[in-house]
Amino acid sequence: MNSAASAPGTVRRFVLLLRPSGWLSGAKLWALMPYLYGVVLAAAIIAFNPDLILGPRALDVRATALLPLALVAFGQTLVVFTRGFDLSIGGIISTTSALLASQLTGTGLELAVQLLSLLAFGALAGGLNGLIIARTSLQPFIVTLATWSIWGGVAILFLPQEGGQTSPELTDLVVGNVFGVPVSLIAVAVLFGAWVWLRWSRLVLDFKAIGSDERSAELAGVPVARRKVQVYAISGVFAVLAGIWLAGQFGGGSPTIGNEYILPSVAAVVVGGTSIFGGSGSVAASIAGALALQMIPDLIFVLEISTFWTGFLRGALLLIAVTISSVFLQAARSRL
Amino acid sequence: MRSVALPDLLRSNRGIVAAYGIALALFVVGVLHSPGYASDTNVRTLLLYAAAIGIAAFGQTLCILTGGIDLSLPWTMTGAAVLTAVLAQGDPGRLPWIFALLIVLAVLVGLLNGAGVAYAGVPPILMTLGSHGVLASLVLVYTRGGMSARPPEIMHEWVTSTLLGIPAPVIVWVLIIVLATVMLSRGTIGRRLYAIGTNRSAALLAGVNIRRTLLVPYIVSALSGGLAGLLLMAINKQAFLSLGQPYLFATAAAVAVGGASILGGSGHYLGTVAGALILTLMASLLTLFSLGHAWLNIGYGLILLLALLIATPQSKRV
């Protein structure tokens, strides 16, 4: 940014001290931070109540709490790579939830077709964001703010208030087991696997190229407009997946449930160390960030304080993470 | 540094002109649909609700002008309302002390946001996202998660009183409009805010104290948000936890519909005023056509996109 926003000198000196120490160089340490937050939180919880982390069903419960945010954060991270934001996920999740609890309650093959058409809806709704952003060059933040409002309204049209009834088969699908392993756990593993498979792909590299310098990316032959449509379409599909999972888990829908995921998805990306100025970052780190955010309620539980402190601690974690990355970033820049 | 005299502003910023055009068109639609729409009572009600959005969006406009945003606004609004209702316990004699306390707290919240942005270099969207969570949590802890306390009766009398037929809150709003216009079109602070939003490095080289200047929008936002929170509480005769919730979208949309660029450097509070009028008119028209909450959300989204497309000439969309 500029010299007006520089870190306090002492902190910068501390960060510089880390530099020559081999594998623990500043940049690498920075990339490890989101995992460190998770480990610190886990250690704190274990100190009070080991069962919450090490107990027999702990992993299952944790994956269940993590999955919807991890899904949304996956798409959001890719969008942030391109220096964008996707607030419309709130509306897309809500619409998915509302439809599944009111209209799309089939069974068997019918349900499969309905779920597939929902995924297509996510791709179209997201792609529409991308199209508007690529064609008009309006700011992603404000465009997706508008489409969030639109899809949020559509959700209320289908399901005026919380309730409804989803197909029982959907619930069996998302809370079931495959060979004794819970579906949510498998899904989280698949998300990690997908990132490992995708991280050096042309698609992801193009997203990062657009985020770090759109004009250069264009000159280097990146199909910028097409990639923007793709990245928002992917984010829309992930939002639908989160909506499907939430509807199945609760057996009903809510026309505003998606709103609870907008700000946390951005928080997960940022706690994961991805810069909101685009161009760099990791989806796996975002999922770790989401995990850290989802461990805060457990911490509050073991500390036996009011659950109303959740927002406070999540906000504090976000601010700590952001300040640390901003200090590392400035230290890295001052070395150049 | 560029100056933004009013006539130049209107000539160069077609977003603001377009916004007033849309507002007028919406009003005409209302009048055509039912002649009573132009009645004194209805216009007064419309202006009262527009004033709530407009006052809340004062600080937001300044934040967005510098390329920032204040996401914590809903909870400054709710916080001010909740504190007043709980601390006053119906006794109007306590209000002066409470207002003094609120001003101190608002300045502290603004300083926290502003210091994070200006001194720690945290991007505004993240800084205020963090304080959004922190403030929401503090309000919930303070109220134990559920309340609808009533403010002193006298506050409701204040906001429903009129001077020469104009509701008192609208007069306050007009004063804020004058203040903002002088600030942005005549004052040094306005020029500095535009300079920071346009090009930070250039502003620094031109001798703007960026850090100190950047504190201003966030402090103003907490103060104007608190004032809007009190206004809404007095209109509704109660303070409730979801009071500020619609106003994050409403203020950002009012600023954007009013022709400001979310990237900073362009726009004016006069545009936000038109934005506040448009949002209020739409809500009232949809009620008139007996369309519910769902269509209001859809309508807000569409008008926001439409206004953005009209306001931003192809060449200026960066």
Q: What's the rounded Cα separation, in Å, for the pair B168 and A4?
A: 42
For residues A32-39, average pLDDT: 86
The mean of the pLDDT values for chain B is 87
Q: Which residue has the tokens 């008008």?
A: B303
What is the 8-class DSSP label of residue B163?
A: E
Tokens matching residue A250: 């609760």
Tokens matching residue B76: 């400054």
CB A95 within 8 A of CB A104: no
Q: Which residue of A has its CA nearest to B115?
A: A5
pLDDT of residue A20: 45
Residue B197 CA: distances (Å) to CA of A119, B9, B62, B186, B208: 39, 16, 10, 17, 12
Type and span of the H or E element at A109: helix A108-136
Query: Percent of chain A having pLDDT more than 90?
Result: 44
pLDDT class of A8 with cuts at 50, 70, 90: low
Type and span of the H or E element at B148: strand B148-149
Residue A271 CA: distances (Å) to CA of A206, A325, B130: 23, 9, 11
Q: What's the rounded Cα separation, in Å, for the pair B169 and B161?
A: 9
Query: Percent of chain A having pLDDT more than 70?
Result: 89
For residues A316-321, average pLDDT: 88
The answer to whether B302 faces chain A, any CB pair under 8 Å, is yes
Residue numbers in A near B138 (CB within 8 A):
312
Q: Where are the beta strands (DSSP E) in A141-259?
A: 177-178, 181-182
Could you report the per-residue pLDDT of B79-125, keeping only the tens digit for each? 999 999 999 888 888 889 999 999 999 999 999 999 988 888 888 98
Residue A321, Cβ neighbours under 10 Å: how many?
A: 23
Of A227, A317, A327, the C-alpha closest to A7 is A327
Give the ranges where B199-263 is alpha helix by DSSP (H). 200-205, 210-236, 247-257
B239: three-class secondary structure by DSSP? strand
Q: Which of residues 190-219 of B touch A (CB under 8 A)?
A: 200-201, 204, 210-211
Buried b or exposed e, range B203-241, using 16+ CB within 10 angstroms: bbeeebebbebbbbbbbbbbbbbbbbbbbbbbbbebbbb
pLDDT class of A6 with cuts at 50, 70, 90: very low
For residues B35-58, average pLDDT: 92
Residue B70 CA: distances (Å) to CA of A263, A275, B37, B251, B281: 13, 19, 34, 10, 24
Tokens matching residue B317: 């969309």
What is the 8-class DSSP label of residue A163?
A: B
Q: What's the rounded Cα separation, in Å, for the pair B318 and A137?
A: 6
User: What are B162's strand-pairing partners?
Assistant: B167
Q: What is the torsional sign of CA B250, B254, B256, B260?
A: negative
Q: What's the rounded Cα separation, in Å, for the pair B184 and B174?
A: 15
Q: Which of B75, B82, B109, B126 is best to mutate for the A interface (most A CBs within 10 A)?
A: B126
Q: Which of A319, A324, A325 is best to mutate for the B interface (most B CBs within 10 A)?
A: A319
Residue numbers in A near B70 (CB within 8 A):
none
Q: What contacts A117, CB < 8 A, 6 or more positions away?
A: A104
Q: What is the dihedral of CA B233, B234, B235, B240, to 10 degrees?
A: 20
Whether residue B318 has pLDDT greater than 70: no
Type and span of the H or E element at A279: none
Residue numbers in B near A314 (CB within 8 A):
133
User: What are B149's strand-pairing partners?
Assistant: B239
Could you report the per-residue pLDDT of B137-178, keeping only the tens digit for each? 899 888 887 776 788 888 988 888 888 888 999 999 999 999
pTM of the model: 0.86
Q: Which residue of A has its CA nearest to B144?
A: A308
CB A5 within 8 A of CB A322: no
Of A336, A335, A199, A179, the C-alpha closest to A274 is A199
- The size of the A-B interface in CB pairs under 8 A is 161
For residues A270-280, average pLDDT: 85
Residue B304: which of A136, A145, A266 has the nearest Cβ?
Answer: A145
Could you report the per-residue pLDDT of A53-84, keeping only the tens digit for each? 777 777 888 888 899 999 999 999 999 999 99
Q: Which of A2, A15, A320 is best to mutate for the B interface (most B CBs within 10 A)?
A: A2
Do the chains contact at A142 and B141, CB–CB below 8 Å?
no
Q: How far out from the chain centre does Cα A214 lie?
A: 23
Residue numbers in B near A143 (CB within 8 A):
305, 308
Of A229, A210, A230, the C-alpha closest to A220 is A210
Could you report the per-residue pLDDT of A129-146, keeping only the tens digit for each? 999 999 887 889 889 999
